[in-house]
Amino acid sequence: MAAAREAVEEAGKILQDGGLVAFPTETVYGLGGDALNPESSRKIYAAKGRPSDNPLIVHICRWEDMSLIVREIPETAKKLGKAFWPGPITMILEKSDRVPRETTGGLSTVAVRMPSDPTALSLIRAAGGYVAAPSANASGRPSPTLAKHVEEDLGGRIEMILDGGQACIGLESTIVDLTEEIPTILRPGYITKEMLEEVLGKVEIDGAILPEGCKTAPKAPGMKYRHYAPKAELTIISGEEEAVVKRINALLKEAEKKGLRSGVIATDATAGRYGATFVKSAGSREREEETARELYRILREFDDEAVDVIYSEAFEESGIGQAVMNRLLKAAGHRMEMAGGAV
């Protein structure tokens, strides 16, 4: 679903005048401001309640527009652009003087992405070509995948929200740092390491985003923040399906004895097997992309329902499943146990 043309034109004017507009992208909703206007970037940080050392992604709609904002375009960027843009991947490159430090959180590099969502592309064009946009959530909440999530978090604090329906991917873009000798993934997403390696050859993953790396400082400043933590205590249970169902049901009984409200993140195949008031299916276990699309909505719903504890099944780490588990582990503060034994 694309937003109406008049609405996009109006939104473009708001951005040109230094205002803020939330808009759909294929990953999550973004909170846009003019990337070349330092005042707009300041407003973005204020509206989200986000620390101003956490840089913003600059969204473009034409490959030619890259040259104004980066110092040089390496071969790796050309290859990635050709393979995956417009699409859910963000490249980190050395910035030019045209990009204000307010936009890059004081860094000398800039994050650039060309989204594929048609509303996003028309808006960027209408705004003059450069739209700085973090995810359009209040700092500390899950990224919005529906316009109503943006309304809940930022309604009344920004000039306009463009509604483009549900974001079709549901998790933020893959971020790849191209300023290093070997391209490095700073945040996993829909475009996986394997997909990148097919185009670039060797690719590394920033140690800080691996499960065992939570103590090293991540290179994407945003990944260092505790990020979203649900109001409830979230625990992930991994293992064989039968063992997981049994263990979660045992945990639910314990929670009930303590008088706690509990929730479960299940899959289509298991959702009917849990004795909790709030059981939500993250889709079919065979289709990780369904889980990616529904995850943030589910976590927001649990917050609204004020549950005390959430138990989630673990998901396969293949394809976008890797990004799903990355976000789920963060939300759980890395609390994960193996059904039938400790991890």
Backbone angles phi, psi at 70, to 5 degrees: -115, 155
* For ligand TXA, the closer CB: 223 or 279: 223
What is the per-residue DSSP string for 275-335?
A: --SEEEE---TT-HHHHHHHHHHHHHHHHHHT-SEEEEE----STTHHHHHHHHHHHTTT-
**Position 173 contacts ligand TXA (CB under 6 A):** yes
Query: Binding ligand TXA by CB under 6 A: which of 12, 86, 87, 134?
Result: 134
**Position 135 contacts Mg ion (CB under 5 A):** yes
Stretch of residues binding ligand TXA (CB under 6 A), selected from 22-30, 144-152, 243-251, 281-289:
22-30
Query: Binding ligand TXA by CB under 6 A: which of 119, 135, 192, 267?
Result: 135
Minimum CB separation from ligand TXA for residue 248, in Å?
A: 31
Minimum CB separation from Mg ion for residue 143, in Å?
A: 5
Query: Binding ligand TXA by CB under 6 A: which of 12, 30, 144, 188?
Result: 30
Crossing angle of helices 321-331 and 288-305, in 10° steps, is 20
Backbone angles phi, psi at 133, to 5 degrees: -155, 115
Task: From 248, 252, 249, 250, select the one nearest 238 (Cα to Cα).
Answer: 248
**Position 139 contacts Mg ion (CB under 5 A):** no
Minimum CB separation from ligand TXA for residue 80, in Å?
A: 14
Query: Binding ligand TXA by CB under 6 A: which of 60, 111, 162, 252?
Result: 111
The residues pairing with 310 across neighbouring beta strands, listed in sequence order, are 234, 263
Which one-letter DSSP state was computed for residue 271?
G
Query: Binding ligand TXA by CB under 6 A: which of 104, 119, 192, 322?
Result: 104
**Position 19 contacts ligand TXA (CB under 6 A):** no
CA 165, 171, 176, 177: dihedral to nearest 10 degrees?
A: 100
Burial of 231 (0-12, 13-18, 19+ CB in 10 A): middle
**Position 326 contacts Mg ion (CB under 5 A):** no
Copy the structure tokens of residue 4. Answer: 């109406």
Binding site for ligand TXA (CB under 6 A): 25, 27-28, 30, 54-57, 90, 92, 104, 107, 109-111, 113, 115, 133-135, 172-173, 175, 186, 219-223
